[in-house]
């Protein structure tokens, strides 16, 4: 394939022309497709272009909503950005189910975030400890120009600790720092603080250690593992409220709890189980302009915190009451980044009544719990495919460019028949062959 020098300096049109010519069998169609997704509003398009580098076009995802969520006795319509069929429908069904049974309860357990300065030191560990104790307060002081505004709002650096990790890696130490960033996700704030701490640490070390003893900074970076930034969401009701028939309700509760236990002890099931939870969580995180990759990484690390990958949700039957809950780490923000730039993110946050970061944590956790409830409910009753494939039907019809008449007839047919890709193809062929 062709290579190019100075690609980033080309205009967007020049980038597209070069790519279309060198990487596509139909250059004109490729160019037209990319330009088809440009915003007609040039100011809005420039805003999107500047979100990242070498932009060619916009990649659209459906922006939908799951209404009727009763969370802590407040009703929410939750925005969700996702391309997968049945996710929003499942969340909406779970919201409707639990609205009649007391709704969702959610609480933030903690909001501490973490960053670390990683360094090597081969000298006397006691001398390093003595040095750190002497300069710890100076490290806080050195970050004041960065933290003063955050501190006025009640946030800032909560702690700076020296951690000896030499049992795992020779000469490896770290400054382990905890932060409170309030309504900001805080990545830039945390990283700026860490770099200042590292610089001050080395400058102060020059007066304490010989040249041979000097610590060497490796890197300074926040962590997306936030086990102390936790939120809990739960639902509960008497078992008999789960279904009209008492025996059916009891059987459902028992099978549901057993399904959660399986996802707790069987990693193969746990991964798919948690992926379903993240369908709900990621879609709200993305719609509200937060970093879903960071959330994913932190959540899956948390799922393996006990040495084995496990279910993020738990369920039990307690004195005739069915209880289902999730406890999950979520580092989210409602100010800064895309929250003040992307027009749809602004609308999403307004739809949620402009929540604080803590409120958004609760909403997102509830979305994950609702998604999981809907999935497990389907698995232990009708099976997952019946509902999923009916929602997937429109994708198959679009793939085969079905006409409006064909759509109507196919949809009517599958109201009483099982949807599969081959079955849809068969029906379309029958219609088209008369």
CA distance 96 to 69: 7
Residue corresponding to tokens 């949700």: 313
CA distance 15 to 307: 47
Structure tokens at 282: 């990621």
Name the percent of the chain in helix, strand, coil, to the closest 5. 50, 20, 30
Question: Cβ distance 108 to 206 under 8 Å?
Answer: no
Selection from 271, 296, 297 nearest residue 282 by Cα: 296
Residue 415, SS3?
Answer: coil
Q: What is the per-residue DSSP string for 252-289?
A: HHHHHHHHHHHHHH-HHHHHHHHHHHHHHHHHHHHHTT
Q: Which of 21, 275, 354, 421 is catalytic?
A: 275
Supply the DSSP symbol for 104.
Answer: B
388 is catalytic: yes
133 is catalytic: no
Q: Which of 12, 49, 84, 151 is catalytic?
A: 84
Question: Cβ distance 235 to 316 under 8 Å?
Answer: no
Question: Cβ distance 322 to 259 under 8 Å?
Answer: no
Q: Which of 48, 273, 388, 392 is catalytic?
A: 388
Structure tokens at 264: 């707790």
Cβ within 8 Å of residue 374, ≥6 positions away: 90, 91, 93, 94
Chain centroid offset of residue 132 CA = 36
Question: Cβ distance 34 to 62 under 8 Å?
Answer: no
Angle between helical axes of 125-142 and 187-205 (0-180°, round to 10): 130
Q: Which of 180, 183, 291, 359 is catalytic?
A: 291
Active site amino acids:
84, 275, 291, 388
């Amino acid at each position: 394939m062709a290579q190019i020098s100075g690609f980033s300096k080309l205009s967007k049109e020049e980038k597209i022309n070069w790519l279309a010519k060198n990487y596509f069998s139909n250059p004109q169609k490729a160019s037209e497709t990319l330009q088809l997704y440009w915003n007609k509003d040039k100011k809005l398009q420039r805003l999107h272009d500047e979100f990242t580098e070498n932009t060619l076009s916009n990649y659209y995802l459906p922006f939908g909503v799951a209404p009727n969520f009763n969370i802590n006795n407040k009703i929410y319509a939750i925005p969700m950005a996702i391309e997968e069929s049945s996710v929003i429908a499942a969340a909406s069904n779970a919201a409707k189910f639990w609205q009649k049974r007391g709704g969702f309860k959610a609480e933030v357990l903690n909001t501490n975030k973490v960053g670390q300065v990683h360094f090597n030191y081969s000298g006397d560990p006691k001398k390093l400890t003595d040095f750190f104790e002497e300069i710890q307060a100076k490290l806080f002081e050195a970050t004041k120009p960065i933290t003063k505004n955050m501190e006025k709002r009640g946030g800032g650096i909560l702690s700076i600790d020296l951690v000896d990790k030499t049992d795992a890696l020779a000469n490896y130490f770290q400054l382990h720092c905890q932060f409170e960033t309030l309504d900001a996700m805080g990545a830039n704030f945390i990283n700026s603080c860490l770099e200042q701490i590292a610089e001050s640490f080395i400058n102060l070390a020059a007066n304490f250690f010989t040249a041979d003893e000097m610590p060497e900074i490796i890197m300074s970076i926040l962590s997306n593992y936030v086990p102390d930034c936790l939120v809990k969401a739960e639902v509960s009701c008497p078992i008999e409220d789960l279904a009209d028939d008492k025996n059916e309700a009891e059987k459902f509760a028992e099978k549901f709890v057993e399904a959660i236990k399986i996802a707790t002890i069987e990693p193969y099931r746990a991964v798919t189980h948690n992926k379903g939870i993240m369908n709900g969580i990621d879609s709200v995180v993305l719609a509200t302009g937060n970093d879903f990759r960071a959330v994913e990484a932190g959540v899956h690390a948390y799922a393996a915190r006990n040495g084995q990958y496990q279910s993020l949700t738990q369920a039990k039957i307690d004195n005739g009451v069915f209880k289902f809950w999730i406890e999950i780490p979520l580092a989210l923000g409602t100010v800064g980044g895309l929250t003040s730039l992307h027009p749809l993110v602004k609308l999403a946050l307004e739809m949620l009544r402009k929540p604080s970061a803590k409120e958004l944590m609760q909403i997102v956790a509830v979305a994950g719990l609702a998604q999981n409830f809907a999935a497990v409910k389907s698995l232990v009753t009708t099976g997952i495919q019946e509902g999923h494939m009916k929602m997937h039907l429109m994708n198959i019809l679009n793939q085969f460019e079905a006409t409006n008449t064909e759509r109507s007839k196919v949809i009517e047919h599958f109201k009483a028949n099982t949807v599969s890709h081959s079955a849809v193809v068969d029906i379309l062929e029958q219609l088209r062959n008369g």
